[in-house]
Amino acid sequence: MNNASSLQTYNRLLLLVAGLGGLLFGVDVGIISGALPYLEATSGLTAGQLSFIVAAVLLGSVISTLFAGMLADLFGRKTLMTVAGVLFVVSIPLISLSHGYGPLVGGRLLQGISGGLIGVVVPLYLAECLGASNRGKGTGIFQWLLTLGIVFAALIGMYFSYRVSQVAAQGDAVKLLAFKDMAWRRIFWVSLPPGLLFIFGTFFVTESPRWLYRRGKVDAARKALLKSRTLEQTELELSEMANTAKSEAQGASNSATHNDSIFSKRYIVPFALACVILACNQATGVNSIIGYNTTILIQAGLSDIQAHWGYVILTIVNFLTTIIGFSLVDRKGRKVLLSVGTAGIIISLVTSGFVFRGTESKRVDCNSAVQALVQADQSAHIAFNAETASKLLQSSERSVDSITHQPVSLIVIYSYGDFRAATTVVRSDDPSAKPVAITRDGCVPPNKVVAFFSHPFADLNQARTAPLKIENALITPIPSEANGKVIALCLYAFMAFFAVGPGVCVWLALSELMPTRIRSNGMSIALLINQAVSTGIAAVFLPTVGRYGYSTLFFIFAGCTVVYFITAAFFMPETKGKTLEEIEQHFAGTES
């Protein structure tokens, strides 16, 4: 029999392996942000090709998420974790040593496939391996190191941006180009060690005891449980697994089809609850707020460098407050943290919305004037400075006297057919800003695969020949730096409440609420819903900002979070300290 010390050591090993899985997931999400500017400058790829390289991770993730549950049931949780790590490790040299479009796309697809598998199988594995008292901590560490991966990627990007600036100051164009080429390759190489450690760690953990039990390997399941439990706890959980299996068998024998469906009565409530939580998690707007954080802060009143540092601070806030979340989740419970977290998110979003409304009420849409600048090849290039801003504003039918003689920002939202895009935000008082470039390559996807994930119902062929339409050319007075700092604080508060509540608890809700029989496939479906909501928000984000402003969007996100709060506070049961079988009995109505 294992002593207390060996049990503790093995549980720590489980947490470490899970944490490395989260680190890989975070690196998957964040690494391209720092590498992309240098890849763009040195690769010779078109904007469309670069767009596909960025989107390839999403494509790979969607594909693997769809099949992850089935593969986890077929080959086992541990095996699939190892495969996910191998795919990630193989992707690094494929990308870093590439000298063409194909290897870059292939490597990014492998990273996406790896990330999708990790997102399903690691929380699933943790839920089935850790005891009830440690399950929240384990999933919290997964999320914590996921946020560390994003911070790590952001800091690496900042480091190389300073190095590039130092080389640029020397005035040697050839040396600068060579350094940029080296920079994006090294950014990817730096992410290799966590992948190797993750693979190494998977060889020292057992297979999921619940997967083994369902495969009829009762002795192997007992040995796996004894690695992390006492003999008494092991026998109790084996007994609960047996009762659950017996209950499922009786349910199947009473069914006309003798086949438990994910939509049968005993599963539909926890499955629907998990899907609502996953959908609402994205409907808080978290991915868009993170992805457009720099743009939001610039339009709120911060300078370019302040806004970029603001993003780094946001990732650090996410990382640090996740520590608080996973330290509390097994003490205070999932329901409490979700309720507090969503309530804080609502307050942060509403406050941000009202602050933005004051500035956005003064903005001017100069779309007609910018439309007149479109060239014969259906592109436009605008050198935005104080003089250009004055000319554009004077062409507006609206009175602009109050903002004519102050710094302003410009963002252009444009379309070719059904596809929309937006320029980066430029300020009239930034002499180093590049001209605003509006081109078809920057908007229209390069192929049907990317087009489907960007806009499933769009006509790609028509967009390739459609004229350029300037939907919005928004000139907004730049608020004071104090205004920008208020928005930054609101977004930090948003991130902190998200990390403490939904950030930590969403993975737990996904894995704990699903009954054993449908857990792997149910998690895959719920994560697909999560990604669908995320994609939908990404599709409407720019048009909504262009037409109604950030204030409206923040109010919409707040409204969706109200649904999240109600679900967490009034419909979600507390699962703290309960075995997976006890949670399943709660939904089956057989809880003792």
Q: What is the pLDDT of residues 21-39, one digit of tens each?
A: 888 877 777 777 677 777 8
215 with 229, same domain: the answer is yes
172 with 271, same domain: the answer is no
Q: Using 50, 70 and 90 to split pLDDT, how confident is the model at 576?
A: confident
Distance of CA 293 to the CA centre of its chain: 13
Q: Are 380 and 469 in contact (CB under 8 A)?
A: no
Considering the domain boundaries, does residue 3 fall inside one? no
pLDDT top residue among 110 and 328: 110
**Residue 585 pLDDT greater than 90, yes or no:** no
548 with 437, same domain: the answer is no
The token duo for 189 is 């190489």
582 with 532, same domain: the answer is yes
113/389 Cα distance (integer angstroms): 45
Residue type at position 570: F
The predicted pLDDT at position 115 comes to 85
331 with 204, same domain: the answer is no
**Residue 252 pLDDT greater than 60, yes or no:** no
589/570 Cα distance (integer angstroms): 18
The predicted pLDDT at position 249 comes to 64
187 with 125, same domain: the answer is yes
554/289 Cα distance (integer angstroms): 9
Note the pLDDT tens digit of each residue in 322-336: 888 878 877 787 888
| Structural domain containing residue 222 | 210-251
Q: Is 557 helix (H, G, I), strand (E, B) or coil?
A: helix
Considering the domain boundaries, does residue 143 fall inside one? yes
CATH number of the domain at 305, please. Answer: 1.20.1250.20
**Residue 402 pLDDT greater than 70, yes or no:** no
Residue 437: C-alpha distances to residues 189, 204, 381, 412, 457 (Å): 31, 52, 5, 10, 27
The token duo for 6 is 């060996």
Residues in the chain: 592
Q: Under the phi-then-psi rule, with left for phi > 0, alpha for psi from -120 to 50, and beta for the rest, what region is 301?
A: left
Q: For the residues 76-89, what does the mean pLDDT come to? A: 92
344/387 Cα distance (integer angstroms): 43
Q: For the residues 98-104, what does the mean pLDDT come to? A: 85
Residue type at position 393: L
Range 364-367, long-range pairs (CB < 8 A, 24+ positions): 364/393, 364/396, 364/398, 364/400, 364/403, 364/474, 364/475, 364/476, 365/396, 365/472, 365/473, 365/474, 365/475, 366/392, 366/393, 366/395, 366/396, 366/473, 366/474, 366/475, 367/470, 367/471, 367/472, 367/473
The predicted pLDDT at position 341 comes to 93
The predicted pLDDT at position 544 comes to 76
392 with 495, same domain: the answer is no
83 with 69, same domain: the answer is yes
Considering the domain boundaries, does residue 450 fall inside one? no
Q: Using 50, 70 and 90 to split pLDDT, how confident is the model at 134?
A: low
The predicted pLDDT at position 47 comes to 59
412 with 438, same domain: the answer is yes
pLDDT top residue among 502 and 268: 502
The predicted pLDDT at position 258 comes to 44
Q: Is 567 helix (H, G, I), strand (E, B) or coil?
A: helix
Note the pLDDT tens digit of each residue in 175-212: 888 888 888 888 888 888 888 988 998 898 888 888 88
Considering the domain boundaries, does residue 448 fall inside one? no
Q: For the residues 573-586, what does the mean pLDDT come to? A: 72
Distance of CA 346 to the CA centre of its chain: 20
**Residue 263 pLDDT greater than 70, yes or no:** no
Note the pLDDT tens digit of each residue in 492-502: 999 999 988 88
pLDDT top residue among 508 and 242: 242
238 with 308, same domain: the answer is no
Q: For the residues 253-270, what does the mean pLDDT come to? A: 59
Considering the domain boundaries, does residue 454 fall inside one? no
Note the pLDDT tens digit of each residue in 537-564: 766 776 677 678 889 999 999 999 999 9
Cα dihedral 281→284→285→290 (10° resolution): -80
Least confident of 18-22, 63-67, 264-268: 264-268
CA dihedral sign of residues 508, 509, 513, 519: negative
**Residue 452 pLDDT greater than 80, yes or no:** no
> pTM of the full predicted structure?
0.70
**Residue 255 pLDDT greater than 60, yes or no:** no
34 with 171, same domain: the answer is yes
Least confident of 216-230, 356-370, 499-513, 519-533: 519-533
Average pLDDT, the chain: 81
Residue 157: C-alpha distances to residues 24, 34, 163, 171, 304 (Å): 17, 4, 10, 22, 15
**Residue 510 pLDDT greater than 60, yes or no:** yes
The count of domains in the chain is 4
**Residue 130 pLDDT greater than 80, yes or no:** no
Q: For the residues 233-240, what does the mean pLDDT come to? A: 82
386/409 Cα distance (integer angstroms): 10
Share of the chain above pLDDT 90, in %: 16
Q: Using 50, 70 and 90 to split pLDDT, how confident is the model at 264?
A: low
| Beta pairing class for 380-382 and 408-416 | unpaired
Note the pLDDT tens digit of each residue in 332-351: 878 888 899 999 999 999 99
Burial (CB count <10 Å: 0-12, 13-18, 19+), residue 414: buried
